[in-house]
Amino acid sequence: MKLLLEPSTQTRNDGIFRLLTIVAASFILLIMILLFIELLSNSWLSLEKFGLQFLLTNVWDPVRQEFGALSSLYGTLVSTLIAMLIAVPLSLVIALFLVEMAPPMVSKFFGMAIELLAAIPSIIYGMWGLFVLAPLMAKYVQPFLQKISGNLFLFKGPPMGIGMFTAGIILAIMVLPFISSVMREVFLMVPNVVKESAVGMGATTWEMVKVMVRYGIQGMIGATFIGLSRAIGETMAVTFVIGNSHSISTSLFAPANSITATLANEFTEASEPVYLSALVELGLLLFVVTFIIQMVSQLWLKRVQKRMGVQ
């Protein structure tokens, strides 16, 4: 060991090392700040020209250079809503199965399978959605839904497979592992005393779970937020199946668009400054929305953890 080094050199080296780590850590801050500045300055043209109308009108005309992103916003909103309506209850019961019902070996196996769903790249979901799921939807699921719903306005139009509905389903599958893993943790956080007292009162498993849900409801809301921001930002899978049409339809079977799909499809084609600027503004919007959702969910989950005595 080089104890021969003079103490002052050692303290200096320590200072340098410490400084290096601080610089590296500051890069996270720097990236976030630059990200915001770049998105803002590059969308300035569009922000100035269209103002609030950008969010409220549905024109997407690169030739006349008129842009209003309502169809993309609507698509992101509706596809995310479908995804959450499917994924949240499903994640809840999956977490329930893994924590309360399955024997350890089975739980481990299923848990791993659900986790692996999160490891599959987004573009593979896109391939599967476009070439496998969409044709099945067009042939069986969509005609079936039309038949049993008596041609409800939500399910009108030719069953093409691609469109809002299929995009929502794929998104649901993709966020499932994220939501269910947080739900699982929430279930595990519920103290045994709570469960035991429920069972001791003669409650069935489901009744015990209702008590657990009431106990962990805040954590579950946090889990939903996490899934939400994933679903909103998901790009490739949605781009493959949503149909890419800048029109708003009440039917879920109609082709639609989302913020991410519009970006993925049109960004490299945008040659006019205004066009590009409008697309960057979509990106800015997405960034701000996901930032807020994540901030809220982080603060929220931290509070829940504190309240439930885990740290």
Partner 1 sequence: MKERSERSRIYLDITVRLFSAFSALFGLVILIWILTVVILRGISAINWEFFTELPTPPGMGGGGLANAILGTVIITVVATFISVPFGLLAGVYLSEFGGQSKFAQNVRFLTNILMGTPSIIIGIFVYTMLVRPFGHFSGYAGSVALAILMFPLVTRTTEDILQLVPNALRESALALGMPRWKVTINVVFRAAKKGLITGIILSVARISGETAPLLFTALNSPYWPTNFTDSTANLTVTIFNYAMSPYEDWQKAAWGASFLITFAVLITTLMVRYLVREKHGK
- Residue that the structure tokens 């949240």 belong to: 88
- Residue that the structure tokens 């977490």 belong to: 95
Radius of gyration, alpha carbons of the chain? 24
What is the footprint of partner 1 within residues 253-272 (CB under 8 A)?
260, 263-264, 267-268
What is the footprint of partner 1 within residues 177-216 (CB under 8 A)?
177, 180, 204-207, 209
60 or 146, CB closer to partner 1?
Answer: 60
73 or 146, CB closer to partner 1?
Answer: 73
Stretch that binds partner 1, among 77-85, 142-150, 155-163, 222-230 (CB under 8 A): 222-230
Q: Does 232 bind partner 1 (CB under 8 A)?
A: yes
Q: Whole-angstrom Cα distance, residue 217 to residue 20?
A: 42
Q: How far apart are the first and last CA of the chain?
A: 39
Stretch that binds partner 1, among 26-34, 61-69, 155-163, 246-254 (CB under 8 A): 26-34
108 or 147, CB closer to partner 1?
Answer: 108
Q: Does 22 bind partner 1 (CB under 8 A)?
A: yes
* Tokens read off for 215: 């106990």
The residue within the footprint of partner 1, chosen from 47, 145, 254, 280 (CB under 8 A), is: 280
**Shortest separation between residue 65's beta carbon and partner 1, angstroms:** 19
**Shortest separation between residue 90's beta carbon and partner 1, angstroms:** 5
**Shortest separation between residue 194's beta carbon and partner 1, angstroms:** 16
At residue 60, what are phi and psi to the nearest 5 degrees? Answer: -140, 85
Q: Given CA atoms 301, 303, 308, 311 in this order, what sign does their dihedral have?
A: positive
Q: Does 151 bind partner 1 (CB under 8 A)?
A: no
What is the footprint of partner 1 within residues 284-303 (CB under 8 A)?
286-287, 290-291, 294-295, 298
For residue 67, give the H/E element and its range. strand 66-67
What is the footprint of partner 1 within residues 29-88 (CB under 8 A)?
29, 31-32, 34-35, 38-39, 42
Sequence-distant (≥ 6) Cβ neighbours of residue 267 within 8 angstroms: 276, 279
| Distance (Å) of CA 183 to CA 56, 100, 122, 151, 161 | 36, 12, 22, 36, 31
**Shortest separation between residue 2's beta carbon and partner 1, angstroms:** 9
Q: Given CA atoms 213, 218, 224, 227 in this order, what sign does their dihedral have?
A: negative
Q: Does 229 bind partner 1 (CB under 8 A)?
A: yes
